[in-house]
């Protein structure tokens, strides 16, 4: 009589956070992760919520990343925001805009001269004049202008404020309470993680 061998036990699929091999990620992968984190930061999410969005079961492309690494990326993003808002950076961007406008005016004027006998030359000339006007405005060569807004026949302007209908106003009370509890949990978890990081740095 034939004997039936027991089948090997099957291992259920893991639902935990995806794991990756040890080692530093390639720079391209790091940049993509930081870009995803920055997009989530625009939604005013805290680090625990961002970590869940990256590693949770609902994430379209789960990432193997720790909450501490998420906070490190967030700190770097905030530093980048601060650098872009600095006076030095704005001055560099202003100078760059002037240089681009000047080069556009020079190139357009040259091509206008080369195509002076065609309608293309007139189009290049128009571009050169607009670029020169932009350079003058960027350099502050025009006198400041004052404009006054008024209604018909000089009447005062009427102001109408319309409050937008926010989706949160239609939440079920139980769902609204759940979201507030989750927000409180995220705030406490973020504070505890930051305290732990500070202790590890001091030790």
pLDDT tens-digit series, residues 56-100: 888 888 888 998 999 999 999 999 999 988 999 999 999 999 999
Give the residue numbers spanning the domain of 131.
87-142
Higher pLDDT pick, 191 / 14: 191
pTM of the prediction? 0.55
Number of domains, the chain: 2
pLDDT tens-digit series, residues 130-175: 999 999 999 999 877 777 777 777 778 777 777 666 677 777 888 8
Q: What is the 3-state secondary structure (H, E, C) of the chain?
A: CCCCCCCCCCCCCCCCCCCCCCCCCCHHHHHHHHHHHHHHHCCCCCHHHHHHHHHCCCCCCCCCCCHHHHHHHHHHHHHHHHHHCCHHHHHHHHHHHHHHHHHHHHHHHHHHHHCCCCHHHHHHHHHHHHHHHHHHHHCCCCCCCCCCCCCHHHCCCCCCCCCCCCHHHHCCHHHHHHHHHHHHHHHHHHHHHHHHHHHHHHC
Residue 4 lies in a domain: no
Q: Is the pLDDT of residue 190 over 90?
A: no
Picking from 142, 159, 181, the residue at the C-terminal end of a domain is 142
Looking at the structure, do residues 119 and 79 belong to the same domain, yes or no?
no
Looking at the structure, do residues 73 and 104 belong to the same domain, yes or no?
no
Looking at the structure, do residues 95 and 135 belong to the same domain, yes or no?
yes
pLDDT of residue 111: 94
Residue 110 lies in a domain: yes
pLDDT of residue 5: 52
Residue 198 lies in a domain: no
Residue 169 lies in a domain: no
């Amino acid at each position: 009589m034939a004997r039936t061998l027991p089948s090997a036990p099957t291992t259920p699929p893991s639902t935990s956070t995806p794991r990756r091999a040890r080692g530093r990620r390639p720079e391209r992968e790091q940049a993509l992760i930081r870009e995803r984190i920055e997009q989530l930061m625009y939604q005013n999410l805290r680090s625990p919520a961002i970590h869940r969005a990256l590693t949770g079961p609902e994430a379209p492309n789960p990432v193997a990343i720790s909450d501490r690494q998420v906070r490190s990326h967030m700190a770097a993003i905030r530093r980048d925001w601060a650098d872009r808002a600095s006076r030095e950076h704005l001055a560099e961007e202003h100078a760059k805009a002037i240089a681009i406008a000047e080069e556009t005016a020079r190139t357009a004027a040259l091509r206008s001269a080369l195509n002076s006998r065609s309608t293309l030359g007139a189009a290049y000339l128009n571009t050169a004049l607009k670029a020169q006007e932009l350079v003058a405005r960027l350099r502050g060569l025009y006198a400041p202008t004052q404009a006054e807004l008024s209604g018909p026949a000089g009447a005062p302007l009427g102001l109408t404020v319309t409050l937008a209908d926010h989706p949160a106003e239609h939440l079920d009370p139980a769902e609204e309470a759940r979201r507030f509890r989750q927000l409180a949990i995220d705030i406490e978890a973020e504070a505890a993680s930051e305290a732990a990081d500070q202790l590890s740095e001091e030790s």
